[in-house]
């Protein structure tokens, strides 16, 4: 479920400062709140009902846990919203012990995606799930990311290769990572992690997120436009096939 972005941040910016800016934007922007809350409902409907915890990696300001209190909110550094501090590439959980792993605007911040996927394979219980909501690089969004967004968008990067500069800072990233791993290199993903079967891919935020202004941009539509735009977007982004 590739999705949208948080507020502006750079690797040099303090994580706590960035999260406080995100919280301020969340409180000030009702369209963004409604959009993310709709996405959280989508996530909730896809959580596996199997024994084990549901862990959110990179929980940020903790809005998913606010909606689903049983979620274990984690982050790479201590924050007021994190229940635990963990490294997504070295998960401190027993084998086959987790029901779900959830990453909202986080996968593109992983410096070693292969290490994370190995850990996912190890820690997920049978029929457990990993749910990723992250930027998608389309022919339209890619130039927009490169022109108007501060985060790096490099479609020439290795899908599964390590990037030490991304691992070194919690806010470093490559926005193209999810597109590379789950779309362009999906066959290689299936070959290397056959236990992690892709059951759904859905492209979101075609209209509402850019028109809402996101966390830091200019809002282009009134609050009252949310319902008709949401209905149109659901029709445009309905899953057409299961890979």
* Element holding 53 (H helix, E strand): strand 53-57
Sign of the CA dihedral running 106, 108, 109, 113: positive
Residue 41 predicted with pLDDT over 90: yes
How far apart (Å, rounded) are the C-alpha atoms in residues 62 and 69?
10
Report all structural domains of the chain as residue ranges with CATH numbers, in order of start: 15-236 (3.40.50)
How far apart (Å, rounded) are the C-alpha atoms in residues 178 and 242?
17
How far apart (Å, rounded) are the C-alpha atoms in residues 106 and 88?
10
Q: What is the pLDDT of residues 26-35, one digit of tens each?
A: 999 888 898 8
Q: What is the pLDDT of residues 115-142, one digit of tens each?
A: 999 999 999 999 999 999 998 888 777 7
How far apart (Å, rounded) are the C-alpha atoms in residues 54 and 58?
13
How far apart (Å, rounded) are the C-alpha atoms in residues 240 and 67?
28
Give DSSP secondary structure letters for 193-219.
-TTS---------SSHHHHHTTTTS--
pLDDT band at 5 (very low <50, low <70, confident <90, very high): very low
**Average pLDDT estimate for 41-49:** 96
Could you tell me which residues come within 8 angstroms of residue 45 by beta carbon, excluding any fewer than 6 positions away? none
**Average pLDDT estimate for 210-231:** 77
Residue 10 predicted with pLDDT over 90: no
Could you tell me which residues come within 8 angstroms of residue 167 by beta carbon, excluding any fewer than 6 positions away? 89, 111, 112
How far apart (Å, rounded) are the C-alpha atoms in residues 5 and 103?
12
pTM: 0.87
Q: What is the pLDDT of residues 194-206, one digit of tens each?
A: 999 999 998 877 7
Could you tell me which residues come within 8 angstroms of residue 200 by beta carbon, excluding any fewer than 6 positions away? 1, 46, 239, 242, 243
Strands lying side by side in the sheet with 84-85: 84-85, 72-75, 53-57, 98-104, 124-133
How far apart (Å, rounded) are the C-alpha atoms in residues 26 and 90?
30
């Amino acid at each position: 479920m590739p999705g949208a972005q948080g507020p502006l941040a750079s690797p040099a910016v303090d994580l706590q400062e960035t999260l406080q800016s995100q919280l301020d934007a969340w409180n000030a922007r009702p369209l963004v709140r409604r959009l993310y809350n709709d996405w959280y409902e989508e996530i909730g409907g896809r959580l596996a009902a199997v024994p084990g915890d549901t862990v959110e990696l990179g929980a940020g300001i903790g809005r998913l846990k606010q909606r689903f209190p049983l979620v274990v909110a984690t982050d790479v550094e201590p924050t007021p919203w994190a229940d635990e501090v963990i490294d997504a590439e070295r998960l401190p959980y027993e084998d086959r012990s987790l029901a779900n792993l959830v990453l909202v605007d986080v996968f593109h911040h992983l410096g070693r995606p292969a290490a994370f996927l190995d850990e996912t394979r190890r820690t997920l219980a049978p029929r457990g799930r990993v749910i990723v909501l992250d930027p998608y690089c389309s022919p339209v969004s890619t130039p927009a990311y490169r022109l108007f967004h501060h985060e790096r968008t490099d479609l020439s990067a290795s899908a599964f290769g390590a990037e030490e500069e991304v691992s070194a800072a919690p806010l470093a990233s490559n926005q193209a990572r999810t597109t590379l791993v789950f779309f362009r290199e999906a066959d290689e993903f299936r070959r290397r992690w056959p236990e992690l079967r892709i059951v759904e891919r859905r492209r979101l935020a075609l209209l509402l997120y850019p028109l809402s202004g996101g966390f830091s941009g200019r809002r282009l539509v009134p609050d009252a436009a949310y319902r008709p735009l949401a209905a149109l977007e659901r029709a445009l982004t309905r899953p057409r096939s299961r890979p």
